[in-house]
Amino acid sequence: MRPFALGLAALLVAPPAQADWQYTRWGMTPEQVVAASRGKVALLPEARRPRVPPLVTAASGEFTDGTLVLRTVFSFAIAGNGLECVTYGVRNRDDDEAFKALLIRRYGPPHTTGGLAFLGMTQLGWVVGKDEISASFSTDEAGYAMRKG
C-alpha cells in the first residue's frame, strides 16, 4: 500500500488535466466515465469514495489491455467533479513484468526512473503530450500506473 499512497500524494500538486485516457476524456463526470466504459466501470457508493483533497475516487472497474486485465480507479476534482486522474494496474505481482513491458511498448523507454531500493520499489515515468504517467512496482504489491494531465 505504501507505493500507492506515495503516488497519490504526488497527485495533490497536479495541474489541471488536459488530455485523455482510453475511452475517457479529462473533465468527464463520474457518470460519464461509467457510461463510456460500456459496463466495465461502476460508481462507488458515496460512503465508499476515498477523499484526498483535492481529489475524490468515485468510480472503479476493469480494463482489458492485450492479455492483461487491469483494475482501474478514477479520481475526480472535488470542486468541479471532473476526471483528473486514472490509476490502473495488474491484480498480482506475477503480471508486473508483462505490465511494465506493455507500458514501454506503448510509451517508449521511460523518461525518468527511480525508486527506493531498500524498500524494493521502482518507479518509471513518462510525459505524453501534456499527460504525466507514473508507474510503480514493488516487492509488496502489484504494479500500477497513474495517468494525469
Number of domains in the chain: 1
CATH number at residue 63: 3.40.1000
pLDDT at 142: 97
Residue 64 domain boundaries = 2-148
d(CA 63, CA 37): 9
pLDDT at 17: 39
Write out the chain's pLDDT in tens, 149 residues. 444 433 433 333 344 434 478 999 999 999 999 999 999 999 999 999 999 999 999 999 999 999 999 999 999 999 988 999 999 999 999 999 999 999 999 999 999 999 998 899 999 999 999 999 999 999 999 999 999 97
Supply 79's cell numbers: 470542486
pLDDT at 36: 96
pLDDT at 117: 87
The pTM for the full model equals: 0.83
